[in-house]
Structure 1
Amino acid sequence: MEIRQLRYFVAVAEEKNFRRAAERLHVAQPALSQQIRKLEQQLKTTLLERTTRRVELTDAGTVLLETGRRVLAEAEHAETAVRHTALGEIGTLRIGFVSSAALTLVPRIVHALRAKRPGLHVDLTERTTDRQLDAIDDGSLDVGIVREVGSPTGLNIHELAREPLLVALPQTHPLAERESIRLSELADEDFVVFPRGQVSRLYDHIAALCHHAGFRMRPSQQAVQFPTILGLVAAGTGIAVVPDSLRHLQLPGLVYARLDDPEAVSHLAVVCRPDRADHPPVSTLVELCDQDLSGHEPGSLNT
């Protein structure tokens, strides 16, 4: 049984007239009659009792009409769902993100996605950059929001923002009253850092900036979460270099100062596999990332 035959039968059964059904379907009446006869032959039963004035359903026809309406409705629903999925309007988009992006950037992007594609389910996972790259490569993530991915990785890299780096200081620190500090002034400080084995890219980026400023970074304490790092700074165990978005985390005894070095920025990017770059939900995300989501210029993040 073909969907076309079922559609023809339902039209005749509802109109109880071949001419009106043919007009409704915009087909020739002989072709319509031929398809109904073919359907009856396939089912080996009479579906319609034809008279000179009207058409009546047999018991078998009544059953097929009820079932046929449901089948046609499901077919239409499937067609619509496929079309919306192809356009990126429904389905699931699996996004990874670094923890520091969760404070400002991720909420803006998710809000914009839901406004633009309300039928799209967004599945969010917090992961380090390296774990995101592995998950994108093996297909368990569609797209990632990562830091310090500048070298070729075999993935599509779309630069999202150049975020200033700050120095977080205990409120009792001699430099705590300053609005800006040069990295070279931190040469003798103890640094609270991520374990390099877990967050190697940001760790190496900050270490390279210190080396460029003329000294070797001296880690004193380690923590795996930014709030913990900032808590240790507030407790006076050292200082930390953090992305500007962390400024939103305000703790007693903690202050932030701008790093007055032009290279003191962290690079955020959207990353996906090349074969997923044209996937509608992914391209929508990249498009939204290029737009001004919060009144700032695209390509910068000064929140």
Structure 2
Amino acid sequence: MNLRQIKYFCKVVEAGSGNAAAKLLCVAPTAISTQMALLEQELGGELFDRSKRPMQLTSLGEFYYPRAKELLLQALRLQEESNRVAVGNGGWLGVGFIRSTLFSVLPSTIRHFREAHPDVHVDLIEKLSEYQVESLLQRRIDIGISRFIGEYERHPDMCYRLIFDDPLLAALPADHPLAKQASFSLQSFQHLPFILYPKDARSPYGQQLHAYLREKGIDPTIHHEAIEIHTAFALVGAGLGGTLVSRSMTYNNRQDVVFLPVDGIEISTSLVAVTRKGQQSKTLDNFIDILMAEGKIAQSSWVE
């Protein structure tokens, strides 16, 4: 299976027949039929019901067409972006990020970077921290914005830069009696359902929070596990329990959730920029400079 076969297939579907597609593509009809036969052989089934006039897609064809069309669009975008980089009219920067940074440094960093580098294409790829090193090694991203609790393992081929320390706050339903207090006691989680996140086999984040509570003699009941932070906030807002969240996530957030400082908590999170060691790129360096500056601005806003 190759792009030519996929292109010919999509054109046959859009033109209504092999002959019409051949005219549009300026190729012989036999070229179309040959490539379609090869494609069907590789896929293991017929894409067209040739017994009907006009020719119709089979169930395999119905499945294959939208995915083939998307693949062609991706190939076209890749070619256009590569051409811009090749002729020096632009560049590419892959940024892996965790969803929680949407509440703090990421939007402003991207805005200011694009103002300074309008010709650079910024490819934003949402990935949990545990997946970012793999993407960096594969060169699918140039920088990962990760979050860790306490001490964390460092890959020998990666460089880690602290953006800021991010203390943990309690997130409670706005109508919960404890939400009216000035601060929150960890012991209160013993009687408050705990919402764990993110729900992912490779992420220890939620389990680390839960383990810390158990170390303090608190064993809260986990009523829900959320795949990501937005879902966790929605569950809290619905009155289904509480959780611990980093402070940077609490600004400009939901009105049905209250965030309280936690008395005596001894752990916090760190927002970290991860890059490949030895990587040399002025574009990346400029992005990191802006990211660090935005991190300082975000952290200074916490001081009342």
Q: Provide the TM-score with structure 1 as the length reference.
A: 0.63
2:118 matches 1:115: no
Structure 2 regions of 5+ residues with no counterpart?
1-84
SS in 2 for 1:175: helix
Distance in 1 (CA, whole Å) between partners of 2:301 and 2:196 is: 22
RMSD: 2.9
Higher Cα radius of gyration:
1
Q: Give the AA of the match of 1:147.
A: R
Distance in 1 (CA, whole Å) between partners of 2:263 and 2:128 is: 27
Do the aligned partners of residues 159 and 208 (structure 1) sit closer, same or farther apart at CA in structure 2, a change above 3 Å counting?
farther
Q: 2:165 touches 2:268 (CA, 8 Å); kept in 1?
A: yes
SS in 1 for 2:114: helix
Q: 1:181 touches 1:258 (CA, 8 Å); kept in 2?
A: yes
Residue 223 of structure 1: aligned partner? 226
1:156 to 143, 154, 159: 159
Q: 1:160 touches 1:270 (CA, 8 Å); kept in 2?
A: yes
Residue 180 of structure 1: aligned partner? 183
Report % sequence identity: 24
Q: Give the AA of the match of 1:287.
A: D
1:233 to 229, 232, 236: 236
Q: Give the AA of the match of 1:286.
A: I
Do the aligned partners of residues 268 and 301 (structure 1) sit closer, same or farther apart at CA in structure 2, a change above 3 Å counting?
farther
- CA shift for structure 1 position 203: 1.3
Q: Give the AA of the match of 1:172.
A: D
Distance in 2 (CA, whole Å) between partners of 1:116 and 1:129 is: 27
SS in 1 for 2:172: strand
Question: What CA deviation, in whole Å up to 9, does each residue of 1:157-209 have, x standing for no partner?
Answer: 11111112221112332211013213233233221112553462421332243
Residue 257 of structure 1: aligned partner? 260
- CA shift for structure 1 position 272: 1.1
Distance in 2 (CA, whole Å) between partners of 1:270 and 1:136 is: 12
Do the aligned partners of residues 251 and 117 (structure 1) sit closer, same or farther apart at CA in structure 2, a change above 3 Å counting?
closer
Q: Give the AA of the match of 2:292.
A: D
Distance in 2 (CA, whole Å) between partners of 1:128 and 1:200 is: 8
Residue 99 of structure 1: aligned partner? 99
Structure 1 regions of 5+ residues with no counterpart?
1-80
2:258 matches 1:280: no
Distance in 2 (CA, whole Å) between partners of 1:261 and 1:134 is: 36
SS in 2 for 1:275: coil
Q: How many residue pairs were aligned?
A: 217
Q: 1:165 touches 1:243 (CA, 8 Å); kept in 2?
A: yes
Residue 69 of structure 2: aligned partner? none
Q: 2:199 touches 2:226 (CA, 8 Å); kept in 1?
A: no
2:241 matches 1:271: no
Q: 2:199 touches 2:227 (CA, 8 Å); kept in 1?
A: no
